[in-house]
Amino acid sequence: MIGDVLTVAWKEWRELLQVGGTVRGGRLSLAILVAVFGVFLPLQSGAEWVQSPATVFYWGWVPLMLVGSAVADSFAGERERHTLETLLASRLPDSAILLGKVAAAISYGWGLVLVMLALSLITVNVAARTGPWLLFPWRFAVGAPLLALLGAGLAATAGVLVSLRAPTVRQAAQTLNVGVLLLVFIPVLGMQALPDAWQVQAGAWALSVGADGLLWASALLLALLDMALLAAGFAQFRRSRLVLD
């Protein structure tokens, strides 16, 4: 089973690296993304990028942007390019196909975030030039990769779920982009829409649990969402329906 999942993930990775028709084209796209999040934005933020607890939460959100475009292709792309039926006619079990695609998307998003984290640390230190080396506090060193992993999981499972039903990659990508925007704006606008008293209570609760509490609460919420979406993906995966789509 694990071997089958890795086989599907291997193929997905090969395809991701070949976006644009060549390995060079695929790598260039990756390099641009890494440069923006690993160099440009840290340069603008300076030492805050490494030391502020608020930036930990930022890393849970970055994979949503990174993984969306890749995962939209997972099933919708295979359907569009007429490769899905051949894959379904192979000996691979349903779970291996689904988990392989999710694993590839997660490893893609999470791997990029880890590279960006390392690069951003180097960038901030090189830009500061003076004083001792700035390092991530332990909360950041554990929390950022954890939230990034769970964020990548959220994007991957939601993306696979959308891609399973979408007739084209473009439609899947559009649906996912709308989803990401809603995920960002609903909490912000929702908070503002709450009565003042509730807003005060929510602020007080956040202060009482502290940054660590918020980190673990966020991680728990993301983990639950990941599992729910993965379960929905398994429920949606029907060979007969995929063949006829």
Partner 1 sequence: MSAAESEPGATGPASYPRRGRVPSPVSSSLQVSWWVMSAPAIIRAEGLTRAFGEVRAIDGLDLEVQAGTVFGFLGPNGAGKTTTIRLLLGLLEPTSGRADVLGFDTRARGGAIREQSGALLEHHGLYERLSAEENLDFYARVWRMDRAARAARIRALLEPLGLWDRRREPVSRWSRGMKQKLAVARALLHKPALLFLDEPTAGLDPVAAATLRDDLGTLVRREGVTVFLTTHNLVEAERLCERVAVVKQGRLLAVGHPDELKARSATRAEITGRRFDDAMLSMLRNQEGVLRADLHNGRIVLELAESAETAPLVALLVQLGGLVEEVRKDKASLEDVFLTLMEEEP
Q: Shortest distance, CB of residue 195 to partner 1, whole angstroms?
A: 52
CB 223 within 8 A of CB 150: yes
Q: Binding residues for partner 1, how many (CB under 8 A)?
A: 27
Alpha-carbon separation of residue 106 from 17, 66, 121, 170, 190 (angstroms): 15, 10, 22, 20, 29
Binders of partner 1 among 67-86, rule CB under 8 A? 81-83, 85-86
Q: Taking contact as CB under 8 A, which single stretch among the options 1-9, 110-118, 169-177, 208-216 is the one that binds partner 1?
A: 1-9
Kindly state whether residue 2 participates in binding partner 1, applying the rule CB under 8 A: no
Kindly state whether residue 30 participates in binding partner 1, applying the rule CB under 8 A: no
Rank residues 10 and 198 by Cβ distance to partner 1 and give the closer one.
Answer: 10
Burial 177-201 (b: 16+ CB within 10 A, else e): eebbeebeeeeeeeeeeeeeeeeee
Kindly state whether residue 245 participates in binding partner 1, applying the rule CB under 8 A: no
Binders of partner 1 among 89-108, rule CB under 8 A? 89-93
CB 153 within 8 A of CB 226: yes
Kindly state whether residue 19 participates in binding partner 1, applying the rule CB under 8 A: yes
Q: How many residues does the chain have?
A: 245
Q: Taking contact as CB under 8 A, which single stretch among the options 12-20, 39-47, 113-121, 182-190 is the one that binds partner 1?
A: 12-20
Footprint of partner 1 (CB under 8 A)? 3-4, 7, 10-11, 14-15, 18-19, 21-22, 81-83, 85-93, 239-240, 243-244
